[in-house]
Amino acid sequence: MRYLIGIDGGGTKTAICAARVHNFPLSYTETSGTSWREYGALGVAQKLKKSVDGLIGEGQIAGIAIGLPCHGESLEGDQAVEQAIRKEFPGVPIYFSNDVEVGWAGSLALEPGINIVAGTGSIAFGKDIHGKTARGGGWSEFFGDEGSCYWVGRKVLELFSKQADGRIPKDALYEVVYRKFGLSDDFGIVDIVHDSYMPSREKVAGLQLLAKEAALLGSQCAIALYIEAARELCLIVAAIKNRLDFASKPLDVSYTGGLFKAGELILPHFSREIEGIGGKLITPRLKPEEGALLLAYQHFSPDGLEGAKKAIIKRPDQS
């Protein structure tokens, strides 16, 4: 039995989708992050091999489309991880891209528009009416990734330190952080962050959930943090819009990534920002891993692309 595989790699979570080339239904699985910067090229390749084998068993692979974090940002890194993955899947045709492209492919079902990813990091990808593409953001958590879960998580720690000092008034965020870390004094957080959080992008990104908890408890600092994140994410989208041509078609902007699970704390603000640049925020049509699967059809079984698209969109769990 021959399968096409779509993979949405991420800094924190990787989702995989498989379909028989001419016979649905789909199969899904998940594993942890697949950033070569964090896990190494060999570690990423072996993790993907184990997950795909567990998903399709003895089935043959007709092609894989994979979106990886950090792809396109380091020639040496790209070569190393691609070589390692090809070694794990000998003879299998593979389309490599950045994870933002598979987010676009799923959220807009390969139609013109822009998709913004706000997960562990932040990055956007767009394709216009002429097929021209552009991306923005995705630089580095050290000097970029604005509006991402990592960025919000780091800001949570910054706000905690300011509230602990009295530079700004204490609110629910202070209590949420104090409780999360089991502190007996404010400065106890320093060793914990240096030893356990600074080495891990995933753990820092996970602190975004503290902002969500604090905002729902009424923390004005946390609420404002999501509004600021919406502005930063819109700046990335606007930069791509200015490099592409959507003149004869309304600009559809979709979104993927864990930050948007904050729901009403982020989406209404982001929607207003997008409307301010002449776009319209739309709900993602498909999951990113399903977008990767569509890219696999597009590259390795184009005659089945439209049928695959219709079959996925008509699934009961799709809106």
As a whole number of angstroms, the distance between CA 180 and CA 123 comes to 29
Average pLDDT of the segment spanning 208-232: 96
Question: Which CATH architecture best describes the domain 2-109+286-313?
Answer: 2-Layer Sandwich (3.30)
Q: What is the pLDDT of residue 319?
A: 44
| Most confidently predicted of 72-76, 241-245, 308-312 | 241-245
Identify the CATH assignment for 110-284 out of 3.40.1160.10, 3.30.70.270, 3.30.420.40, 2.60.40.1120: 3.30.420.40
Residue ranges of the domains in the chain? 2-109+286-313, 110-284
Can 2-109+286-313 and 110-284 be said to share one CATH topology? yes
Instruction: Looking at the chain, list the stretches that DSSP marks H as alpha helix, in order from N- to C-terminal side.
Output: 36-39, 41-56, 75-88, 99-107, 149-165, 172-180, 188-192, 201-206, 208-216, 220-241, 267-276, 288-300, 305-313
Q: Give the DSSP H/E element, type plus range, for residue 252.
A: strand 251-256
| DSSP class of 259 | G
**pLDDT digits over 148-196, tens only?**
999 999 999 999 999 999 999 999 999 999 999 999 999 999 999 899 8
Looking at residue 246, its pLDDT comes to 86
Distance CA 168, CA 234 (A): 27
pLDDT at 229: 97
- pLDDT above 70 coverage of the chain, percent: 97
Question: Can you tell me the mean pLDDT for 249-262?
Answer: 89
pLDDT averaged over every residue in the chain: 90
pTM, entire model: 0.81
